[in-house]
Chain A
């Protein structure tokens, strides 16, 4: 009687510990899509199967160790083989594994079926930010970390979404099938949002597919899940899911902005306009390596403030920003930024932090270079 009670208490406290661990947010999230909930329930089913197997196997083992110990006169059995026992311990795990594989395979099949999507989004990993392009909509933008440097450097208290905030989140509609086409410009990244149950490698030279149908509006956060260099921890993913009509008006708004930006290429920009725009672009794109004050991090990331070579050679400066420098971490930005952004950031670099070249680089000049 007492023994049975001890067994029940032991098993009970184990289960209690397991459930409290799950309730305390250590477990994976159930997420906000059909597929993510399916994955979650698979995960839990398999978890409890493992718990039961663990209790049975270790229970039998510890019971046998204790009950048949030598000090109580137990004698070891001396037989070589028992075919029926062997058949049982081979067949039972086989059935358990097949039982787990059937629903898991069904879910995998659904996860891989990216056909008949309502919206295609090209996701491009770049060191160290994400670029999103709404295919066929003429809308694309780069999404960079927006956690302030002061929090990263420990000069300020860390916010709630420390390292999980971006300047421009990926906006997606609720209730529509969105297909992701994932690729990379440089090294292997991985686009991961736990609540959407999407974790897909983005690989240079390949296009991987994945899809999602979000059911609840909200903000969903994730990170790059493939070690990709110095700022791997500083390229979060933020998805903002909107109701269908809200999304449509957001997309229309962005399309209008893109058209306005395109027409901005032809007009003459003033120094102040370019400096203001350039500061934004610099902060979002360049500051991670060259530092917000242009001081760089020698020897890998040259200082831009007071850089004689940069100040004396305007053409070379433009060339470096457009085409990168091979053999160094300096990437080519000709396809990541539009002509206005490129002109603005180059103008900014030539006139900020005591750089007083007085040079103005016009978007039309960059446009001409890009078309060559």
Chain B
């Protein structure tokens, strides 16, 4: 699970180690990456919204 989160974070940032990429493509399940990706995207949106609301005070 932690591996999947780390890979999704790397994808958000846009840089990934080649070794990790190989590993993900051989052992990971696509569904896990998609699910974690959706959840983390929602978290990112809420984070940005929270910052915006704080800044607008």
Contacts and interface: CB of A to CB of B under 8 A. Distances in A.
Given A105-B55, A109-B56, A90 B18 contact: no
Interface residues of A, number: 8
Interface stretch (B9-17, B27-35, B42-50): B9-17
A80 B15 contact: no
A90 B56 contact: no
Contacts of A109: 55-56
A83 B17 CA distance: 6
Nearest to A80: B18
Given A105-B55, A109-B56, A87 B15 contact: yes
Contacts of A90: 13-15
A325 B42 CA distance: 54
B18 A81 contact: yes
A86 interface: yes
B15 A83 contact: yes
A101 to B, nearest CB: 11
Contacts of B55: 105, 109
A96 to B, nearest CB: 16
Q: Which of B14, B15, B18, B56 has the most CB of A within 10 A?
A: B15
Contacts of B13: 87, 90
A83 B13 CA distance: 12
Nearest to B16: A83
Contacts of B16: 83
B28 to A, nearest CB: 19
B32 to A, nearest CB: 23
Nearest to A87: B15
Given A83-B17, A105-B55, A109-B56, 8 more contacts: A80-B18, A81-B18, A83-B15, A83-B16, A87-B15, A90-B13, A90-B14, A90-B15
15 contacts: A80-B18, A81-B18, A83-B15, A83-B16, A83-B17, A83-B18, A86-B15, A87-B13, A87-B15, A90-B13, A90-B14, A90-B15, A105-B55, A109-B55, A109-B56
Interface of A: 80-81, 83, 86-87, 90, 105, 109
